[in-house]
Amino acid sequence: MSPTRLIRFIAVEDSRTYVGAPILPPDLDVAQYVAASDRSPLTARVLPSDNILDASLAPTDQLRTVARLLPILPPARIPSIRALGANYVQPGQEAREARAKRPALPILFFKPPQSCVVGHGDAIVVPKEMEHETDYEVELVVVIGRDCKDVQVHEALSYVRGYALGNDVSARKRMFAVPQWGLGKGADTYFPLSSTLLLASSSVDPESIALQTRLNGQLMQDGNTRDHLWGVAETIAKLSEGTTLHAGTLISMGTPPGEGFKRDPQVFLKHGDVVTISGSHGLGSLTNPVVQVTKLQVPGKAKL
């Protein structure tokens, strides 16, 4: 039986990195299982290599025990993170009308993989310059499995390797100070990425996935990808117009309502907080503590 999801992890046996199919029921949360102290260690049937993008690889009979979960892709194998903004129907809007009034093109910004991506359990580090403005955003992340360009909507999903969870951590004042979002979205550690890849071959509908955010256990976001303004297939088609989306490209599909900056009073991430985002259909969860840098980072004099 073909697996419905894969995980990337460090093994207990040899401290090496593996990709494998977790030996769990398909709807059980991998991260929660690993964190539970009253359960037997999680094992996985590993692939012949750690290339999670290679759809031709099948799990072997070799078993490895999970010591630590890792992001589904190492930053060096992520060509780009292309993220959508304002891509959900908002409270009080009628879905059909909201989609009719959406922008002519998706609102797009980029996050730098090498510095933004962290994994399950890693800290979101809030710089002194971004305190009292850093916010959470649960998002469905589309993982492109093959290079593609000028893709038609009807064929777009055939280029998808699978789906993951991402937390598009955002510094709101920097986002809105000038007409750009990059400075508010691109800080180090500001893109936690899950360890579970829900395979496209599992026939999951990317427009029917429930997403949630909990901050210190309190439910903050509770949405569903059915409220996308731009769906996954048409997003891939648009972003690939005249542009190659290389294998390993991540497309973060925007966040449902409930962000901290839209609340009254506003809620921003602070030292000691714990953020957990989760998704249905076996996507599981991703948890990260928040650490506040207490001093401004002043560059030192260069040593020549």
| 98 lies in the same domain as 113 | yes
At residue 37, the pLDDT reads 82
HEC profile for 67-128? EEECCCCCHHHCCCEEEEECCECCCCCCHHHHHHCCCCCCEEEEECHHHHEECCCCCEEECH
At residue 179, the pLDDT reads 81
The count of structural domains within the chain is 2
Query: Is 174 inside a domain boundary?
Result: yes
pLDDT score of 295 more than 60: yes
**In angstroms, rounded to a whole number, what is the distance separating the alpha carbons of residues 18 and 49?**
7
- Which distant-in-sequence residues (6+ apart) come within 8 Å of 234 by Cβ? 153, 156
**In angstroms, rounded to a whole number, what is the distance separating the alpha carbons of residues 288 and 271?**
12
At residue 90, the pLDDT reads 97
Averaged pLDDT score across all residues of the chain: 96
Query: Is 297 inside a domain boundary?
Result: no
| 149 lies in the same domain as 52 | no
pLDDT score of 111 more than 70: yes
Query: Is 206 inside a domain boundary?
Result: yes
Calculate mean pLDDT across residues 72-82: 98
At residue 300, the pLDDT reads 46
Concatenated DSSP letters for 135-195?
E--EEEEEEE-S-B-S--GGGGGGGEEEEEEEE--EEHHHHHHTT--HHHH-STT-EEB-S
Provide the CATH number for the domain around residue 278.
3.90.850.10
Burial 266-290 (b: 16+ CB within 10 A, else e): ebbbeeebebbbbbbbbbbbbbbeb
| 81 lies in the same domain as 61 | no
Query: Is 160 inside a domain boundary?
Result: yes
- Region for 229 from its dihedrals, namely left if φ exceeds 0, alpha if ψ lies in -120 to 50, beta otherwise: alpha
Query: Is 104 inside a domain boundary?
Result: yes
Query: Is 108 inside a domain boundary?
Result: yes
Q: Which of 69, 103, 121 is the last residue of a domain?
A: 69
| 118 lies in the same domain as 51 | no
Is the separation of the CB atoms in 71 and 118 below 8 Å?
yes
Is the separation of the CB atoms in 139 and 168 below 8 Å?
yes
| 36 lies in the same domain as 111 | no
> pTM surpassing 0.85?
yes
C-alpha dihedral sign at 270, 271, 272, 278: positive
Query: Is 278 inside a domain boundary?
Result: yes
| 170 lies in the same domain as 125 | yes
Summarize pLDDT for 129-174 with one digit per residue, the tens. Answer: 999 999 999 999 999 999 999 999 999 999 999 999 999 999 999 9
Q: Which of 17, 38, 69 is the last residue of a domain?
A: 69
Is the separation of the CB atoms in 190 and 116 below 8 Å?
yes
Which secondary structure element, helix H or strand E, spans residue 277, and what is its range? strand 274-279
At residue 297, the pLDDT reads 54
pLDDT score of 198 more than 80: yes
For tokens 């294998």, name the residue: 247
Query: Is 300 inside a domain boundary?
Result: no
Its domain, for residue 59, covers 5-69
Q: Which of 69, 103, 125 is the last residue of a domain?
A: 69
| 150 lies in the same domain as 256 | yes
Q: How would you classify the pairing of strands 117-118 and 191-192?
A: parallel
- Region for 202 from its dihedrals, namely left if φ exceeds 0, alpha if ψ lies in -120 to 50, beta otherwise: alpha
Summarize pLDDT for 244-285 with one digit per residue, the tens. Answer: 999 999 999 999 999 999 999 999 999 999 999 999 999 999
| 21 lies in the same domain as 133 | no
At residue 302, the pLDDT reads 41
| 20 lies in the same domain as 59 | yes
pLDDT score of 232 more than 80: yes
| 56 lies in the same domain as 137 | no
| 11 lies in the same domain as 99 | no
| 105 lies in the same domain as 28 | no
